[in-house]
Structure formats: C-alpha cells, structure tokens
C-alpha cells in the first residue's frame, strides 16, 4: 500500500482540540506576537502580572460560558482578569499587565472551529484606581492598543452587549472583518465599582485584553485580503 503523506510539522497548526496547537513557523509567529505585546505595554510603566488560570470561589453557574472543572482549589476562569480581582487588596491607581488563559464553553464552535476557541491565551491590561484615573488610563490604552493592532491587520472598535459579568457594564470589542466573517480580536470592559466594591475597596476598574490566537487567526485570514 502506498504511504499516506502526513502534514509537515515544520509549520503545523491545528484547532481540533478546541485550542490552537502550533509548531515551527506558526509557533514562532505566535511567540513573536507575545514578545511585541510585552514590549508595547512597557511604555505605561505597568506593574507585571503572573495570572493564575484558576480563580477562587467561582460558582459553577456564575456565567453561561464557564467551564465546570474538578479542581479542588479553584475554578477555571472564563475571563483573564477574574483571578486577579478575586484577591485584589489595593486600590492604588495602577496599570497592571500580564498573560493568562481563558476557558469557555463555545456553543458556536461548530460554525467556525478555527476561530471559536474553547481555550485561548490573553494579553491582559487591568486598570485600578479612582474614577478619573481609570477613565483617563482606559482611553489612553484603548487608543494606543487600536494603533498597535492596526500594525497587524485593519480593524475597529465597536460597542458590544455580551459582557462577561451578569451586571450591566460597558463593553467594546476591536473587530476585523464584517458580517458573518467578523472576528473579535480584543475587548475592553468598564467594570465600574463592581470588583473593588466586592472587596470592600473604594474606586473602579477597567480591563482590556487581546486574544493571542484570535489575533493570529485574523492576520492569517484578513492580512492577505487587505494587501490585494
């Protein structure tokens, strides 16, 4: 029998698992994106974060996309910032930044299995402080983040109504494409007093996150189209 030709692992990628497996050139590109992001946010003198993928005291029914797990110390986080806010004890005006993973039930995955990830890496910026500091810092990061992403692929900010919290908050997404081919690459959330108030602290918070695999997918899908 003739041998079956297998795909080369020199530039291999797969989303069969619900996450992205990348080898060789694809992995190198993803690592480069992460390095560029890490360099990019140093301009704000950020406080570094090493974020846990598990959060404290998460209710199994807290969010429709929350993944139920058998972990004994915590639960899988469906949003990158949640483990930080579970243990926050300081309301000093600060911009934090770090990487995490988000785990989500994704009911629309069968419609687009190459971009509807059930687990993906997030570059997360978290802003904590008084209302004025949060508003000013959020607008600065939002604008500069949009410019940074434009360096990879053309997109735009637009208002979204699918906040990851049950409470009504302001959310916007940086998206590429249009119609059925729209892909959200980044998002920004105004939490108001929700998280700090829960910890007995005065002040507000905001967060902005880039989905690393989503940005990588957007570059592959749309960058070539825009060049033509």
pLDDT single digits (tens) 140-181: 999 999 999 999 999 999 997 765 555 556 899 999 988 877
Per-residue model confidence (pLDDT) at position 214: 95
Q: Is residue 53 part of a domain?
A: yes
Q: Is residue 1 part of a domain?
A: no
Q: Is residue 6 part of a domain?
A: no
Angle among Cα 63, 69, 74 to the nearest 5 degrees reads: 80
Distance of CA 166 to the CA centre of its chain: 18
Single out the residue of 213, 182, 25 nearest to residue 119, CA to CA.
Answer: 213
**pLDDT band, very low/low/confident/very high, at 228 (cuts 50, 70, 90):** very low
**Residue 147, domain extent:** 11-227
3-class secondary-structure state, position 213:
helix
More confident residue, 187 or 67: 187
More confident residue, 66 or 211: 211
Q: Is residue 196 part of a domain?
A: yes
pLDDT single digits (tens) 72-96: 788 888 899 999 999 999 999 999 9
Q: Is residue 150 part of a domain?
A: yes
More confident residue, 104 or 23: 23
Split into its structural domains, the chain has a count of 1
Instruction: Provide the 10 A C-beta neighbour count for residue 190.
Output: 18
Q: Is residue 4 part of a domain?
A: no
Per-residue model confidence (pLDDT) at position 75: 87
Lookup: tokens for 55 = 């959060």
Q: Are strands 47-50 and 94-103 parallel, antiparallel or unpaired?
A: parallel
pLDDT single digits (tens) 55-65: 887 554 566 56
Distance separating alpha carbons of residues 71 and 7, to the nearest angstrom: 36
Per-residue model confidence (pLDDT) at position 167: 58
Sequence-separated (6 or more) residues with CB below 8 Å from residue 93 = 128, 129, 130, 133, 134, 137
Answer yes or no: are the C-beta atoms of 59 and 76 closer than 8 Å.
no
Question: Any idea what the CATH number is for the domain that residue 176 is in?
Answer: 3.30.930.10
Q: Are strands 156-160 and 170-176 parallel, antiparallel or unpaired?
A: antiparallel
pLDDT single digits (tens) 202-216: 999 999 999 999 999
Instruction: Provide the 10 A C-beta neighbour count for residue 132.
Output: 10
Q: Is residue 202 part of a domain?
A: yes
């Amino acid at each position: 029998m003739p041998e079956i030709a297998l795909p080369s692992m020199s530039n291999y990628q797969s989303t069969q698992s619900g996450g992205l497996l990348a080898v060789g050139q694809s992995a190198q590109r993803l690592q480069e994106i992460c390095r560029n992001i890490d360099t990019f946010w140093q301009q704000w003198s950020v406080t570094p974060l090493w974020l846990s993928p598990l959060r404290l005291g998460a209710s199994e029914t807290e969010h429709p996309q929350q993944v139920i797990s058998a972990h004994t110390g915590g639960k899988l986080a469906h949003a990158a910032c949640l483990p930080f806010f579970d243990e926050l004890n300081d309301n000093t005006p600060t911009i934090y930044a770090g990487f995490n993973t988000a785990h989500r039930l994704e009911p629309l995955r069968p419609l687009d299995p190459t971009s509807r990830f059930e687990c993906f890496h997030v570059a997360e910026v978290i802003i904590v402080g008084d209302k004025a500091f949060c508003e000013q810092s959020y607008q600065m990061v939002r604008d500069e983040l949009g410019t940074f992403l434009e360096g990879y692929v053309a997109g735009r900010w637009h208002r979204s109504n699918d906040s990851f919290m049950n409470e009504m908050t302001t959310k916007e997404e940086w998206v590429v494409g249009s119609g059925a081919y729209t892909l959200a690459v980044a998002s920004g959330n105004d939490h108001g007093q929700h998280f700090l108030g829960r910890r007995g602290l005065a002040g507000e918070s905001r967060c902005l996150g880039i989905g690393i695999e989503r940005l990588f997918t957007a570059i592959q899908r749309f960058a070539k189209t825009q060049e033509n």
